[in-house]
Amino acid sequence: MDAIKTEALTKYYGKARGIIDIDLVVPEGDFFGFIGPNGAGKSTMIRTLLGLLSPTGGTADIFGKDIGEKKEEILGDIGYMPSEAVFYRNLKVREVISFSANLRNRDCKEEARKLCERLELDTEKKISELSFGNRKKVSIVCALQHRPKLCVLDEPTSGLDPLMQKEFYDILEERNAEGTTIFLSSHVLSEVQRHCRHAAVIREGRLLVSGSIEDLGKTQAKRVTARGISAPPALDGIRDTAVHGDTVNFLYSGETKKLLAALSLLPLTDVNIAEPDLEEIFMHYYREEAE
């Protein structure tokens, strides 16, 4: 069964664009990244899936249930972590966590205790005393303490220090290994590349591409760093050139044989030819789409 399936899902805010004709499938048990720059429509997509926004058009099913008809049932299976971790300021951390569990009519004390311990979260502090990073931790506990079938995470790592980011992803990997579907939005491509199996790219409200991380990362382009020269070789397919002293860095899309032939004619002292990382590929992908 698909954890998430949308067909032509559309949301307009009056005349302003939110998301347009999104067709997306996230299989159950997947670790899925939803990538896009700020304002692309990631949060609108997530808020529509969670029933906070009513879609203008199209359909969306979560575990085969329509989001409009079975919203409460669906939300019972979801753990949601919003990008802004905002809670009732006058409550203590443990009160917020307990309130969230009570709203689900579940006893999650043991799981909450384990999560708080792993995230080093002081449950006796008031929300108003917490930093953004610590509020994010509260958000993680509220999203995971009831062991949901689907975790929807909107920009989950912003505000978390690197150690906590690692711990957080360790928890997600464990949950995913147990069968939980993870759907996370991010504009940090490296974390999507590192943790997700599949991803989709959204730009200006429209889905550009969706597939496995491996397939999305496949490209003919090479990142070339050459020392001992002050300009790239005269070849078609060279772009994104940067010159620092006697080092030239550029992206080359074309035949490798031609590149090597051109480089062999130059007085190089060193050369490195590598696959561009996913971030680089997406940045170029965005630019190409924009052009």
User: Can you tell me the distance from the alpha carbon of 92 to that of 100, in angstroms, rounded to the nearest whole number?
Assistant: 13
- Taking CB under 8 A as the rule, does residue 251 contact another protein? no
User: Can you tell me the distance from the alpha carbon of 250 to that of 124, in angstroms, rounded to the nearest whole number?
Assistant: 53
210-219 long-range contacts, CB within 8 A, separation 24+: 210/24, 210/25, 213/33, 213/278, 216/278, 216/281, 217/193, 217/275, 217/278, 217/281, 219/253, 219/275, 219/276, 219/281
- Taking CB under 8 A as the rule, does residue 66 contact another protein? no
> In the window 20-49, what residues touch another protein (CB under 8 A)?
47
- Taking CB under 8 A as the rule, does residue 132 contact another protein? no
> Taking the complex as a whole, how short is the minimal distance between the CB of residue 111 and another protein, in angstroms?
16
Q: Which of 100, 134, 186, 193 binds another protein (CB under 8 A)?
A: 100
Q: Count CB-CB contacts under 10 A for residue 267.
A: 8
- Taking CB under 8 A as the rule, does residue 209 contact another protein? no
Category of 63 on φ-ψ map: left (φ > 0), alpha (ψ -120 to 50) or beta: left
Surface-to-core class of residue 16, CB atoms within 10 Å of its CB (0-12 exposed, 13-18 middle, 19+ buried): exposed
> In the window 105-124, what residues touch another protein (CB under 8 A)?
105
Q: Which of 103, 242, 243, 261 binds another protein (CB under 8 A)?
A: 103
Q: Which stretch binds another protein (CB under 8 A): 30-38, 76-84, 175-183, 246-254?
A: 76-84
> Taking the complex as a whole, how short is the minimal distance between the CB of residue 100 and another protein, in angstroms?
7
Q: Which is nearer to another protein, 148 or 232 (CB)?
A: 148
What does the binding site for another protein look like in residue numbers (CB under 8 A)? 13, 47, 50-54, 71-76, 78, 80, 82, 84, 86-90, 99-100, 102-105, 142
